[in-house]
């Protein structure tokens, strides 16, 4: 089997991407944020208090003839940005881009934090991290990818995110039309359950490449790139008027400033993030102060290659044993 579904930006700065999925019988369609940085599949549902729902699509298990409550199971998750949700669990038919799993654990929200309520374009998350991170208790559940893996032509999914355009999540195959040149594969460390790999270094603009190991995670659910402070300060030193603003929580600069590109290494391959991706967004609509798409990871305790970096490449998440991650130009 294979599957292929669109990854659509939810706003004009690519803060996140959503992908249509169908759940149950008859099928209910929701738009989910596919997140390689977590491993819970949860949805706004008929169990979510109306006061916490603001236009999101909901999954109603009682309207699905194939839904079954997973008795006594609950879940609760908190993400890196502090947003959180919790609830109970059903199993039901689940399809992504033509690829179906019969008894997928679908975690129904009974409580979501205010940031989820206010994010009206996201109806839930589909975790693509390793199933060891799943929060369902007393028995943890498998991700959609882990459930589908055995039936896939190849145990992979690929990520092709685009700037202000629809990209794709493909399952079970590698589409040669989506990348150029070779795919460079590197090992993945599955502890504690993210797609953790080691980059071979970086360069700022046309500057020399600094060979150094940068261990971090490939995270489709994170908007920006978060790297060690030394690298980030070296970058913004090249940007006139840039400051690290406590007020705005990161590096800001005059939107009129010229930004260098940022290049990162994967093995011998080099990937360049265009300046336009790093001039992420005005700090407020119409402001002439812009927030950077490259920020320091010092507050996070983990380096994150989020959407700003993923948009610059075609990435293969290889779920074979042992897992690897592959990066190609496009
Ligand atoms: C630096 S870690 C923070 C990361 N969140 C983010 O990157 C959020 C995502 C978001 C999308 C839509 C609306 C609102 C927020 N964006 C964010 O914090 N931004 C602030 C800086 O400007 C860019 C937007 C995060 O928590 N990612 C989650 C998934 C994410 C999906 C959207 C809803 C909130 C949760 C997950 O990938 C995760 O926790 O990763 C861990 C390993 C850090």
Residue 295 pLDDT class (50, 70, 90 cuts)? very high
C-beta 14 within 6 A of ligand 1: no
Burial of 330 (0-12, 13-18, 19+ CB in 10 A): middle
C-alpha 15 – ligand 1 centre gap (Å): 8
> ∠ at Cα 33 (248, 140), nearest 5°?
110
The values of phi and psi at residue 299, to 5°, are -80, -10
Supply the residues annotated as catalytic. 35, 219
The values of phi and psi at residue 143, to 5°, are -70, 165
User: Coil, strand or helix: which one is 9?
Assistant: strand
Q: Which helix (H) or strand (E) holds 253?
A: strand 250-254
What does the pLDDT read at residue 240?
A: 97
Query: Distance (Å, rounded) from C-alpha 260 to C-alpha 10?
Result: 26
What does the pLDDT read at residue 189?
A: 98
Ligand 1 test: best mutation among 81, 218, 311, most atoms within 8 Å of CB? 81
User: Coil, strand or helix: which one is 104?
Assistant: strand
Burial of 193 (0-12, 13-18, 19+ CB in 10 A): middle
Q: What average pLDDT does this structure show over 247-262?
A: 97
Query: Distance (Å, rounded) from C-alpha 224 to C-alpha 278?
Result: 9
The tens digit of pLDDT for each residue in 109-136 reads 999 999 999 999 999 999 999 999 999 9
C-alpha 81 – ligand 1 centre gap (Å): 5
Going by C-beta distance under 8 Å and a sequence separation of 6 or more, which residues neighbour residue 269? Answer: 182, 184, 327, 328, 329
C-beta 304 within 6 A of ligand 1: yes
What does the pLDDT read at residue 262?
A: 98
Please give the C-alpha separations between residue 273 and each of 44, 53, 294, 307, 310, in angstroms, as whole numbers.
34, 36, 10, 11, 9
Q: What average pLDDT does this structure show over 194-221?
A: 98
Residue 39 pLDDT class (50, 70, 90 cuts)? very high
What does the pLDDT read at residue 179?
A: 98
C-beta 123 within 6 A of ligand 1: no
Q: Which atom of ligand 1 sits closest to the CA of residue 295?
A: 21
What does the pLDDT read at residue 150?
A: 96
User: Where are the alpha helices (H) located in 101-206, listed in sequence order?
Assistant: 114-118, 144-148
Q: What average pLDDT does this structure show over 261-267?
A: 98
Ligand 1 test: best mutation among 7, 38, 194, 221, most atoms within 8 Å of CB? 221
What does the pLDDT read at residue 33?
A: 99
What does the pLDDT read at residue 157?
A: 98
Pair 27, 36: CB distance under 8 Å: no
Mean residue pLDDT across the chain: 98
Query: Distance (Å, rounded) from C-alpha 315 to C-alpha 330?
Result: 10
- Residue nearest ligand 1's atom 11 by CA: 16
Q: What average pLDDT does this structure show over 13-42?
A: 98
What does the pLDDT read at residue 44?
A: 98
Altogether, the residues listed in the chain come to a count of 330
Pair 93, 66: CB distance under 8 Å: yes
Q: What average pLDDT does this structure show over 272-281?
A: 97
C-beta 45 within 6 A of ligand 1: no
Ligand 1 test: best mutation among 217, 223, 248, most atoms within 8 Å of CB? 223
What is this model's ipTM? 0.99
Query: Distance (Å, rounded) from C-alpha 116 to C-alpha 122?
Result: 8
What does the pLDDT read at residue 166?
A: 98
Percent of the chain's residues with pLDDT above 70: 100
- Residue nearest ligand 1's atom 31 by CA: 221
C-alpha 247 – ligand 1 centre gap (Å): 19
C-beta 255 within 6 A of ligand 1: no
What does the pLDDT read at residue 188?
A: 98
Q: β-strands 324-329, 180-187: how paired?
A: antiparallel
Query: Distance (Å, rounded) from C-alpha 6 to C-alpha 27?
Result: 18
C-beta 83 within 6 A of ligand 1: yes
C-beta 38 within 6 A of ligand 1: yes
C-beta 16 within 6 A of ligand 1: yes
Percent of the chain's residues with pLDDT above 90: 100
């Amino acid at each position: 089997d294979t599957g292929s579904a669109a990854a659509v930006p939810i706003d004009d700065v690519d803060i996140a991407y959503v992908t249509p999925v169908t759940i149950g019988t008859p099928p209910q369609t929701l738009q989910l944020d596919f997140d390689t940085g977590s491993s819970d599949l949860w949805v706004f549902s008929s169990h979510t208090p109306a006061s916490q729902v603001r236009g999101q699509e909901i999954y109603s298990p009682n309207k699905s003839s194939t839904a079954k409550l997973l008795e006594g199971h609950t879940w609760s998750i908190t993400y890196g940005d502090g947003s959180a949700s919790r609830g109970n669990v059903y199993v039901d038919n689940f399809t992504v881009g033509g690829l179906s799993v019969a008894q997928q654990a679908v975690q129904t929200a009974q409580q979501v934090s205010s940031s989820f309520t206010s994010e009206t374009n996201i109806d839930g998350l589909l975790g693509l991290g390793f199933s060891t991170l799943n929060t369902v208790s007393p028995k943890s559940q498998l991700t959609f990818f882990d459930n589908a893996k055995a039936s896939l032509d190849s145990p992979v999914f690929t990520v092709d995110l685009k700037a202000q355009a629809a990209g794709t999540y493909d399952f079970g195959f590698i589409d040669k039309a989506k990348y150029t040149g070779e795919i460079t594969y590197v090992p993945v460390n599955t502890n504690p359950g993210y797609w953790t790999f080691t980059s071979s270094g970086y360069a700022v603009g046309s500057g020399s490449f600094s060979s150094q190991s940068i261990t971090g995670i490939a995270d489709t659910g994170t908007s920006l790139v978060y790297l060690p402070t030394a690298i980030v300060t070296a970058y913004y030193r090249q940007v006139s008027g840039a400051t690290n603003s406590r007020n705005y929580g990161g590096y800001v600069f005059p939107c009129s400033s010229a930004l260098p590109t940022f290049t990162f290494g994967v093995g011998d391959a080099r990937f360049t993030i265009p300046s336009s991706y790093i001039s992420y967004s005005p700090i407020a609509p119409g402001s002439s102060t812009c927030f950077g798409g490259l920020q320091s990871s010092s507050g996070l305790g983990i380096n994150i290659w989020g959407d700003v970096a993923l948009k610059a490449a075609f990435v293969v998440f290889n779920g074979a044993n042992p897992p690897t991650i592959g990066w190609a130009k496009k």
